Amino acid sequence: MVKVKDYFDLNYGVNLEFSNMEEDSNGIPFVARTEKNNGVVGKVKLIEGINPNPANTISVSCGGSVMASFLQEEPYYSGFHILYLTPKIKLNERELLYYCMCLKQNAWKYSYGRQANKTLKDLEIPSKEEIPTWAYSLKVNELKKEPIISKKIELDVKNWKNFKIIDLFEIKKGERLVKEERIEGMIPLITATSENNGVVDYISYDDFKDNKKIFRDKVTIDMFFNVFYHNYGYFSDDNVHTLIPKNISLNKYVCLFLATTLKKLHYKYDFGRQARLQRLDFDEIKLPVDKKGTPDWQVMEEYIKSLNYSSNL
């Protein structure tokens, strides 16, 4: 075993606030104290005179989602209480990813608000010689980084308009299905959860097809305002609302755009307030519009297609 400081130089990041940054979909990643999305909360414009943290370093959250550790392959800005680790020795990508995992396993030491700022450097990790062979041989199907289209789409949020959800969608509530009544099968059952795209179980199509509605290729909102797009057939329980587009057919790219936009309403349903039909009737989402002032579905589709990794969709 070695100490973190034996293999890495530890430095604080640039300590910026994401809320004060100018967002730019073509900018550089901004890493914050979160365990989601490789720590990236958005992309921002480069600030003259402020150099980003270097690429191919490990970002470590010392507070918040403490010890959330990620390999950052691009230069990036970071928020408060983020350390970045620069290798002192030659380490390849798989070795760096392995050390990210090792660092995360120390999160239990920092419960109850204890931060990792002062003690991170002295944590023990396996030496390079102790890295298990599976860390090198493990095969994961790699995602294609290329976008579907090379055209860069700029989104000017200032020109977007608000639309009531009920003006764009018919909202269909799912049907109650308690655990004791479920019959195992192949159709996903969607319920109120922030995990696994809302899928909690798989139930029998033949046993429920006559008395339960099966939806396909739709966006759902559950009682806690977790929003997901499902590109497959599914049943949903009575804590889930399915959005049925009115007078238009929406493809998966537009649905993914809408799901992301809808998630911005999550803050309205904190502290136990639930998303129910009578409340969703009054909710609005902000969307890009065309010259007629109607939702610009084409721009939404092209934006998703222009993102890196979209060729995997």
Residue 199 forms beta bridges with which residues?
190
Look at residue 149 and give its three-state secondary structure.
coil
CA-closest candidate to residue 117, choices 193, 33, 176: 33
In the predicted model, is pLDDT for residue 15 greater than 80?
A: yes
Residue 262 amino acid letter:
L
Mention the CATH class of domain 2-137.
alpha beta
The whole-chain average pLDDT of the chain stands at 90
Asked if CATH classification 2.40.110.10 holds for the domain at 157-312, the reply, yes or no, is no
Confidence at residue 19, expressed as pLDDT on a 0 to 100 scale? 86
The 10s digit of each residue's pLDDT in 25-57 is: 889 999 998 888 999 999 999 998 999 999 999
In this prediction, residue 197 has a pLDDT band, given cuts at 50, 70 and 90, of very high
SS3 readout for 86-138: EECCCCCHHHHHHHHHHHHCCHHHHCCCCCCCCCHHHCEECCHHHCCCHHHHC
- The runs of H, that is alpha helices, within the chain are 4-7, 93-104, 134-137, 165-168, 205-208, 252-262, 277-280, 297-306
Burial (CB count <10 Å: 0-12, 13-18, 19+), residue 24: middle
Region class of 253: left (phi > 0), else alpha (psi between -120 and 50), else beta: alpha
Confidence at residue 167, expressed as pLDDT on a 0 to 100 scale? 94
What predicted TM-score, i.e. pTM, was given to this entire model? 0.63
In this prediction, residue 251 has a pLDDT band, given cuts at 50, 70 and 90, of very high
Residues 270, 272, 35, 310: is their CA dihedral positive or negative?
Answer: negative
More confident residue, 242 or 308: 242
Let me know: does 52 contact 66? Beta carbons within 8 Å: no
Domain ranges in the chain are: 2-137, 157-312
The 10s digit of each residue's pLDDT in 62-86 is: 888 889 999 999 999 998 889 999 9
